[in-house]
Amino acid sequence: MRMILLTGAALSALFLSPIALAADAPPLPASVKADARALESKIIAWRRDIHQHPELGNREFRTAKLVADHLKKLGLEVQTGVAHTGVVAVLKGGKPGPVVALRADMDALPVTEQVDVPFASKVRTTYNGQDVGVMHACGHDGHVAILMGVAELLARRKADLPGTVKFIFQPAEEGPPEGEEGGAELMIKQGVLDTEPKPQAIFGLHLASAYHAGTIAYRPGPAMAASDTFTIVVTGRQSHGARPWAGVDPLVTSAQILVGLQTIVSRNMEVIKEPAVVTVGTLHGGVRRNIIPDKAEMVGTIRTFDEGMRRDVHERIRRIATNIAESAGATADVTIETGYPVTDNDRDLTAWAAPVLAQVAGPGKLVEGTKTTGAEDFSFFQQKIPGFFFWVGATPPDMPLDKAPSNHSPLFKVDESSLVIGAEAMASLTVAWLSSH
């Protein structure tokens, strides 16, 4: 049992099981499931091809061509080169109606694959000056293949569609190369949501190792964390390691700041309201055992689910670092780079979508997922229009979830039965939303 908050004319909170959710939804056309199943082999083939030829953010040239060529063959209006390598396509239904957007991310990660499959990636490239392997270690290859399948499924029933579908194949979800713009933020900046046809809602999904294949997970409200980066440069005064009193030690000061930062979550955040994370990932300073350096630098990440708490964490990091440094006779220069916002599922849209997903998943297979401190730039779309983001389980049913390699692991492996489930879910949401709105 779980509570879904329904807002609107009848403001109420109802405890609903997946069976009840399914009963509340209008029945989906049986042909959607049949059409998705008929495309399963093509979707798997596309996914394997993309997996074998991964490309990093803003460099998805081959993937974008594969997508664009497919969409053009379907008769869609196709625009390429959006936000460097993005592809946007429009399918106009045969009947008047609203506009909905569907999004898939295309980029891979600088990870060397260790999965033993015939289509494993052997690609290497240069990333931030380093020679690296490239792998679809987060499932984006599956997302692209799923949306290509959805485009074909919906194009086949174009005459019956009451409205328009805008397909958004997005580059650089994992972040653009240093010194470049990219991702959802750049696509929005270039007008993907403002140019005609303008979507009134957007759907996205993610293959997830946290759930078994066959399971669909969703969550109303904050589902994935905002992600920010902080850098603290502590400046002291250099001295010989044998005479520490002659200088100001930035290493000891940095250690005190690092410990002080731990009190932000443990003592200052209302964790029963929303969780938060403050992690220092690197701490660098000095070059020799007997030389106290004049500078030290630490870099870390901030994860929050509430905008007020997010601002509070930022302010506390600045205050703690500055005041501890001052007390030691040093200075601290704090820089906070704002990253992805909270992936916040529109509650009305989520309450509408859950019964549709319940029908797709089947009895007991739709679950309310837990919050994840991972981040997702789909959140930028949700800041502009109502958006719903959900997870499709990708771990083989016979593998314990606590043993499954996580997304971003070189061992991440997708149970390919999840692909057709994702395609059916996205197509069903699209057909149902256009019909009901």
Distance CA 263, CA 311 (A): 16
**C-alpha distance from residue 113 to each of 81, 97, 145, 411, 420 (Å):** 28, 45, 20, 7, 24
Q: What is the pLDDT of residue 12?
A: 33
Buried-exposed string 1-15: b where 16+ CB fall within 10 A, e elsewhere: eeebebeeeeeeeee
Q: Does one domain contain both 267 and 402?
A: no
Distance CA 142, CA 123 (A): 18
Distance CA 192, CA 83 (A): 10
Is residue 284 included in any domain, yes or no? yes
Is residue 360 included in any domain, yes or no? yes
Q: What is the pLDDT of residue 404?
A: 97
Tell me which residue range forms the domain holding 279. 226-340
Is residue 10 included in any domain, yes or no? no
Q: What is the pLDDT of residue 28?
A: 74
**Residues in contact with 142: Cβ distance below 8 Å, sequence separation at least 6, in sequence order:** 47, 136, 207, 394, 414, 418, 419, 422
- Count of structural domains, the chain: 2
State the CATH number of the domain containing residue 292.
3.30.70.360
Is residue 6 included in any domain, yes or no? no
pLDDT along the chain (437 residues), means of 10: 34 37 59 95 98 98 98 98 98 98 98 98 94 98 98 97 98 95 98 98 98 98 98 98 98 98 97 97 97 98 97 98 98 98 98 97 97 97 98 97 97 98 98 95
Running DSSP on this structure, what letter comes out for residue 252? Answer: H
Is residue 3 included in any domain, yes or no? no
Is residue 4 included in any domain, yes or no? no
Q: Does one domain contain both 306 and 398?
A: no
Q: Does one domain contain both 151 and 41?
A: yes
Cβ burial of 48 (10 Å; 0-12, 13-18, 19+) is middle
Quote the crossing angle between the two packed helices 40-52 and 30-38, to the nearest 10°: 50
Buried-exposed string 194-206: b where 16+ CB fall within 10 A, e elsewhere: eeebebebbbbbb
Query: What is the residue whose two structure tokens read 């009134």?
Result: 200
Q: Per the residue annotation, which of 113, 174, 218, 340 is the catalytic one?
A: 340
* Boundary residue ending a domain (311, 340, 369): 340
Angle CA 397–403–407, to nearest 5: 85
340 is catalytic: yes
Tokens in use for 380?
């930028």
Q: Does one domain contain both 254 and 190?
A: no
Phi, psi of 80 (to 5 degrees): -115, 170
Phi, psi of 321 (to 5 degrees): -65, -45
**C-alpha distance from residue 378 to each of 54, 113, 134, 228, 252 (Å):** 21, 26, 22, 15, 40
Q: Does one domain contain both 192 and 247?
A: no
211 is catalytic: no
**C-alpha distance from residue 410 to each of 112, 133, 169, 203, 375 (Å):** 6, 10, 24, 28, 19
Coil, strand or helix at 191: coil
Is residue 75 included in any domain, yes or no? yes
The count of C-alpha atoms lying within 13 angstroms of the C-alpha of 259, restricted to the half-sphere facing its C-beta, is: 7
* Boundary residue ending a domain (340, 373, 407): 340
Q: Does one domain contain both 200 and 299?
A: no
Q: Does one domain contain both 244 and 175?
A: no
Q: Does one domain contain both 323 and 347?
A: no
Does the pTM exceed 0.85?
A: yes
Name the percent of the chain in helix, strand, coil, to the closest 5: 35, 30, 35
* Boundary residue ending a domain (321, 340, 359): 340
What's the alpha-carbon Rg for the chain, to the nearest Å?
24
Q: Does one domain contain both 230 and 374?
A: no
Distance CA 287, CA 292 (A): 9
* Farthest-apart Cα atoms in the chain, separation: 82
Q: Please report the beta strands in 17-123, taking only residues with DSSP state E, as ranges in sequence order.
A: 77-82, 86-92, 95-105
Phi, psi of 266 (to 5 degrees): -70, -25
Q: How would you classify residue 408: left for phi > 0, otherwise alpha for psi between -120 and 50, otherwise beta?
A: left
Q: Does one domain contain both 363 and 325?
A: no
Phi, psi of 93 (to 5 degrees): -70, 165
State the CATH number of the domain containing residue 383.
3.40.630.10
Is residue 196 included in any domain, yes or no? yes
Q: Does one domain contain both 266 and 241?
A: yes
Q: Does one domain contain both 371 and 234?
A: no
